[in-house]
Structure 1
């Protein structure tokens, strides 16, 4: 038997972008149907470390931090320029500026709904001013939007997977879906105004990643929920959506940033070898430089107990020993060197200095707590992926643009289904806040019936001057032809 639903707005996915889209559309009075693969809202955000970057936020104002749209755009442009040698990148400066203008409103909404931020996380190599804030408890983000899903004008279909978009007379008018426990039963959802793609990225789909990455990279470990399979990307692509930045799946060392705050990393010599909380690409480079690419994060029992869930999510199991000497024996590093490394780190924390003199680290443990209480834990450092940056070109109302530069009627996107903002995500704090910020704009636009018909440009017929001059080529060919005709060429 076919289930049927009808709404003004259909939102696929309830991670940061989906939650914000549902909230904004429902606040406009629209009837909303949300489709969620898991049994709760929040997506990857509620399982994450919970860093969000806001521009001109109330938190910055309280601490006297001066920020601006131009400062943020300059920081973003710098990150894009650094990545151009590794990936083909198309960033959308208009979306980056939109994020800069609207993220402070995201901060206001979150804090009014009870989300608390403990502190700024300094990342001077990425953010030139402090703007990346740490959530006290990431599940606060999901709880902040739960009341929206309990409104009379919102219906949520949990454990439901979207299969394809319905197109009528060139317009996206609905979705076909199925329950995860009943794949043969079709669910038809009609969308009077439109559909928002907010299904997350494609990190957990190695077959899709293999289309854009070498196979050994595409099958690298992934940290996050397993519902990020690129469903929105494939459905939108099927109706003409223009995907960009799909090869931009940056490698990183798989570890929660919350664990990194308290950890030091040691190599086979038992010594630190980099800024553990530095830029993601630098962490990977430094790991590659170690013999056998072998290294470990080391924490004490206080951190291991507090962050047991995050440590348990890492690709390889942790090992533990009562003493540092015992831990050194377990992982095969010199005991004297490991003790000296930990002692030096703890001595630095005692100094009160802001910058680690050995590797320039500025992200320090909360309250400068030391690695001092046994038993001690070590977790192998493993390269994998956490984020992907590919998604659709969109307008600034988040309407998906097709391969010819025309907005697709009735189709919108948010979060990791959007390709124009995520190339700047190595700044840190962009994925969650970008989802919440641009998702809100998408939900509001669909509820209001936005239907952009303008031309947004295309790569169709783009080209460069040829290096081959046809006339010269023919001149070079003529002697060979004459020789062949005279029988001089076999």
Structure 2
């Protein structure tokens, strides 16, 4: 938990002012706050939750970096154009099922800046343990696993305690404020006790409110109802606040239909688990492409499957197991577990023994499924009791968001920048379409959030669509303040 308390503005409506308002404090918001505050301006913050971090602190913590020091240390050569080609393949595959638009220039910008993000995170104390191989997505090892996702919060907490940063917690952004020419000049927020605050942004507002996966009613506009009502694993404040507010002032949303279903499970848990069907046998690469996992599960008898692992994993990943849509089942032996979940005991025992023998054998690729992501240390599933979790199809992330310029300024439907409005993280549409690569969601938030915060703090607006670089400095004053606003769910 953060140590800073929510600001008390007294009774009734209130007003505040700042140079920049950053909405949300997930990866993009944390990075935007840090980079804006580093420009020497003052910060005010608002967040729907009671702490910073958003979904990333609860995630597996996989981040992709291009040309990073971590790659160089292991003799791995990588470059921007290779990454762009990998991303393009993922977008082309997604375009077979969804309406997808990617911003190749934005993807290239992320790739160019991602190594600096790796350096910044490392300098702030974030540690990465290993590369996670995904050869069917990343042609080069570049997806790194963080030692502990809560390191992200600890890395950026000092920025929220700077004298030029103030924070509103448990506060919801309601709408953006514009002037007579359509320029965004602030935001109206509501605190948990119902008090309304209007915060004037003298330089700009950064939308970093996350996605809309926790809002089934909004998802129904872009998905069939049965998919929109599927379970979601993550914080419940990803309700599309920034998407709706930005759209209300003319922002151009893309990729809103790209809400890929997946089998709900943390990738960290998948590393240690095998998936079996009602016949007690494995049927898919448990750590393979998301869409392939879904297709393989739907093809099983009764569309049923279970993740199976031992007590070592159950104890280590207890927090992740508690978040699963359906409860876990445990038993003192594999035979007893088979009885609990209704699969043949001899088949389940044989499946686990074969998996353990493969891990002990040291081969890098599973001959049955092609799996290449192994448990840490290749530890086997051998310590009773054993646990099984039903496999459930739901949603974890969405790809819809705003088109932006190269300075992360939101574009309207005519391709022109909206004055004073910037976006990053899951409020972006042009990079999120590459999410099936793996690792680009969190690292994309940190990378482009950093650039968005810096751009907003500069007080310079783009004057032409698609990344125009000319701009005029907006009126400001020395010692001005940035407002950072944390968002949450709209009232029903």
TM-score (norm 1): 0.92
Per-residue displacement from partner, 1:363-404 (whole Å, max 9, x unpaired)? 000000000000000000000000000000000110000011
Per-residue displacement from partner, 1:416-471 (whole Å, max 9, x unpaired)? 000000000100001100000000000000001120111349xxxxxxxxxxxxxx
Q: Does 1:341 align with 2:351?
A: yes
Q: Does 1:45 align with 2:45?
A: no
How far apart in 1 are the matches of 2:111 and 2:379?
Answer: 34
Q: What stretches of structure 1 of length at least 5 have no aligned partner? A: 458-490
Q: Does 1:7 align with 2:27?
A: no
Residue pair 2:352, 2:381 contacting (<8 A) in 1 also: yes
Q: Does 1:309 align with 2:319?
A: yes
How far apart in 1 are the matches of 2:365 and 2:465?
Answer: 50
Counterpart for residue 64 of structure 1: 75
How far apart in 2 are the matches of 1:168 and 1:228?
Answer: 28
2:441 to 401, 406, 431: 431
Counterpart for residue 382 of structure 2: 372
How far apart in 1 are the matches of 2:64 and 2:152?
Answer: 14
1:87 to 94, 98, 111: 98
How far apart in 2 are the matches of 1:23 and 1:286?
Answer: 43
Q: Does 1:318 align with 2:333?
A: no
Counterpart for residue 466 of structure 1: none
Per-residue displacement from partner, 1:288-327 (whole Å, max 9, x unpaired)? 1001110000010000000000011010000000000000
1:3 shift after superposition: 2.5
Q: Does 1:107 align with 2:148?
A: no
Counterpart for residue 467 of structure 1: none
2:185 to 173, 198, 203: 173
Per-residue displacement from partner, 1:123-178 (whole Å, max 9, x unpaired)? 00000000000000000011100010001111110000000000012210100001
**Secondary structure in structure 2 of the residue aligned to 1:118:** strand
Q: Does 1:133 align with 2:144?
A: yes
1:193 to 198, 203, 207: 203
Q: Does 1:209 align with 2:219?
A: yes
1:282 shift after superposition: 0.4
Counterpart for residue 471 of structure 1: none
Per-residue displacement from partner, 1:40-89 (whole Å, max 9, x unpaired)? 00000000010000000110000000000010000000001111110001
Q: Does 1:164 align with 2:175?
A: yes
Alignment of 1:248-259 (within 5 A): 248-259=258-269
Q: Does 1:409 align with 2:419?
A: yes
CA RMSD, aligned part only? Answer: 0.8
How far apart in 1 are the matches of 2:199 and 2:154?
Answer: 26
Q: Does 1:34 align with 2:50?
A: no
How far apart in 2 are the matches of 1:325 and 1:87?
Answer: 43
**Which entry has the higher C-alpha Rg, 1 or 2?**
1
Q: Does 1:55 align with 2:58?
A: no
Q: Does 1:123 align with 2:159?
A: no
**Secondary structure in structure 2 of the residue aligned to 1:262:** coil
Counterpart for residue 481 of structure 1: none
Per-residue displacement from partner, 1:73-117 (whole Å, max 9, x unpaired)? 000000011111100011000000001000000000000010000
1:4 shift after superposition: 2.0
1:198 shift after superposition: 0.3
**Secondary structure in structure 1 of the residue aligned to 2:462:** coil
How far apart in 2 are the matches of 1:129 and 1:236?
Answer: 36
1:2 shift after superposition: 1.5
**Secondary structure in structure 2 of the residue aligned to 1:443:** helix
Q: Does 1:146 align with 2:146?
A: no
How far apart in 2 are the matches of 1:171 and 1:35?
Answer: 21
Q: Deviating runs (4+, > 6 A) in structure 1?
A: none
How far apart in 2 are the matches of 1:296 and 1:199?
Answer: 34
1:236 shift after superposition: 0.2
**Secondary structure in structure 2 of the residue aligned to 1:258:** helix
TM-score (norm 2): 0.92
